[in-house]
Structure 1
Amino acid sequence: MFTIGEFAALGRVSVRMLRHYDGIGLLRPAAVDPHTGYRYYRAEQLGRLHRVIALKDLGLTLDQVGAVLDDRLDAAELRGMLRLRRAQLTDRVAADTARLAGIEARLRMLETEGRMTTRDVVLKQVPPVRIAELTGVARSYESPDIGPVIQPLYPELFRRLDAAGVRPAGPGIAWYEPAGDGDEVVVHAGVTVHVDPADAPDVAVVDLPAVPTAATIVHHGSMDEVEATMQVLARWVEEHGWRADGYAREVYLEYCQGKPEQGVTELQLPVSRR
């Protein structure tokens, strides 16, 4: 037999963990010296230890691990447990993938800082425009929160317009507004149209008012990297004594489905004098 230290080294776990497994009845030692209290384990117990570790790595709790090893779960219960864990891991992978994309976008933003200057900002009037739109709610105004909300809205918007026989009459236009007192934002995904609301019953047809004065700049590339361009726009507004008077509209001059890096977007920020 092996001492607890030797068995821990063979199983690549800590002595403390083996003591915990003993305490909860998950892996009892083969023998305990009645005088010293020392625990001893047999080689065949490594198989149970390895199964404990494998099931823990799947994300099961120790209670669930014990139920599996002691045959207290039938096959259907085990499948249900593993399917639930698979769904949890899938959600976690998706969340981590989104975080990774956000980090990559931030890195690219830092690498491109300084390439665009405030000389690229143009002050102009924006005429009123009629759009057909669908909306969704994002957790915040940050790109990692906006992207997953707005991206599915446009294909659905175009599908509904096509079903109604309505053709876009100009570029796509996205705009935003607070959803309430918190950080949530209502995302408006629209496209320019020349129709009456009754002609497109499955979408909202709204008239965006004219913007008397807008600070505008053209962003090239994916909207996941728009922060650097918005930073230039904000710096221009600050340096020239203006103040932002609402959220910027995004006018998709060139919308490249499946190739966002080729997109061209004009940011139109309403401004007024301080």
Structure 2
Amino acid sequence: MLSIGDLARHTRISVRMLRHYDALGLVVPEHVDPHTGHRWYAVSQIWRVDSLIALKELGFTLEQCGVLLDEQLPVEELRGMLRLRHAQLEQRMTADADRLTEVERRLRSIERGLTMTNGTLTLGPLPAIRLLHLQTEVNDESEIGGAVDALSTELDALQLTGQRVHTYFGGPDKIEVSVGVAVAATATASDGLTLTDVPAVPEGATVTYRGPAEGIGDTWRTLDVALDEQGLESYGIYRDIRLDTSDPDEVVVELQAAVRPAGSC
């Protein structure tokens, strides 16, 4: 016979958990001393505990484990449960693999953004830009990409020529997103487009990004980190000047933002 401590050591399960299994009727002692209350187990119950843990790790509930261990389940039903669990585990593995791929992509993107930021960051005045553009509002940063794609498709249909520029401005509740082209100072609004003058700023930061279009957002984030290290912060209208987007896997974009000493607002 094994004491509850012995069984715990053999199965690497805590005494507290063995008492819990006893209370649920899953692993009941062979003998309980009526005077001391000490629990005693048969050596064969090591197998039962090991099997219980194995079934738990497969994802079965404790109630299902009890039924399986007591052989109260018809074979066909057991096969069905195992097949279902097999399918669930396969689905989870696929989902985990997809998440791992996304994490690896983001790591590469952030590392690329850090390299671009550290290698190309310059500080200086930013010129005024007159934009002929389409505009919308989004709730948060996660919606910017979809908004840019929709506005770009609409603007492409107008076949306008000129330097493509995206701008972003965070308001109290929404983020204003615009996609347009830089035009001459004498240009006027047309074709349902809005004419806006993005003002010059005395001090700004500029970073040149080269790489997949999907990595631009991470480069904005690394820019904020680089500025913070210099005691600066970005603010106002953020400019995204598309220098070359002919190959979506290797775009060239200039990111610009007004900067000021951190905490000066």
TM-score, normalising length: structure 2: 0.60
For structure 2, which runs of at least 5 residues remain unmatched after alignment?
183-188
* Structure 2: distance between partners of 1:232 and 1:11: 52
Query: Partner residue of 1:219?
Result: 208
* Offset, 1:68: 5.4
The yes-or-no answer on 1:20 pairing with 2:11 is no
- How many residues align? The count is 239
* Offset, 1:171: 2.0
* Structure 1: distance between partners of 2:151 and 2:54: 47
Which letter does structure 2 place at the counterpart of 1:38? R
Considering only aligned residues, what root-mean-square deviation do their CA atoms show, in Å?
5.1
For structure 1, which runs of at least 5 residues remain unmatched after alignment?
139-145, 198-204
The yes-or-no answer on 1:253 pairing with 2:243 is yes
* Offset, 1:98: 5.0
Check the 8 A contact 1:121/1:236 in 2, yes or no.
Answer: no
Q: Give the fraction of aligned pairs with identical amino acids, expressed as a percent.
A: 19
Query: Partner residue of 2:186?
Result: none
* Structure 2: distance between partners of 1:55 and 1:158: 53
Q: 1:196 aligns with which of 191, 199, 204?
A: 191
Which letter does structure 2 place at the counterpart of 1:105? I
Deviations 1:211-260 (A, max 9, x none): 1326241332443133443456678896xxxx96624233233345345x
* Offset, 1:208: 3.6
Aligned in 2, Cα 1:3/1:192: closer, same or farther, shift over 3 Å?
A: farther
Check the 8 A contact 1:121/1:233 in 2, yes or no.
Answer: no
* Structure 1: distance between partners of 2:221 and 2:153: 30
Q: 1:122 aligns with which of 114, 124, 127?
A: 124
* Offset, 1:155: 4.0
When Rg is computed on C-alpha atoms for both structures, the one with the higher figure is 2
The yes-or-no answer on 1:177 pairing with 2:177 is no
* Structure 2: distance between partners of 1:79 and 1:187: 47
Check the 8 A contact 2:120/2:208 in 1, yes or no.
Answer: no
SS of structure 2 residue aligned to 1:220: strand
* Structure 1: distance between partners of 2:150 and 2:65: 45
SS of structure 1 residue aligned to 2:200: strand
* Structure 1: distance between partners of 2:109 and 2:6: 45
Aligned in 2, Cα 1:56/1:267: closer, same or farther, shift over 3 Å?
A: farther
Aligned in 2, Cα 1:8/1:95: closer, same or farther, shift over 3 Å?
A: same
Aligned in 2, Cα 1:211/1:67: closer, same or farther, shift over 3 Å?
A: same
Which letter does structure 1 place at the counterpart of 2:248? Q
* Offset, 1:133: 4.5
Which letter does structure 2 place at the counterpart of 1:269? A
* Offset, 1:54: 4.3
Query: Partner residue of 1:166?
Result: 158
Deviations 1:144-169 (A, max 9, x none): xx3x533344444445556xx33364
Query: Partner residue of 1:132?
Result: 134
* Offset, 1:267: 1.0
Aligned in 2, Cα 1:9/1:257: closer, same or farther, shift over 3 Å?
A: farther
SS of structure 2 residue aligned to 1:13: coil
Check the 8 A contact 2:139/2:175 in 1, yes or no.
Answer: yes
Check the 8 A contact 1:247/1:270 in 2, yes or no.
Answer: no
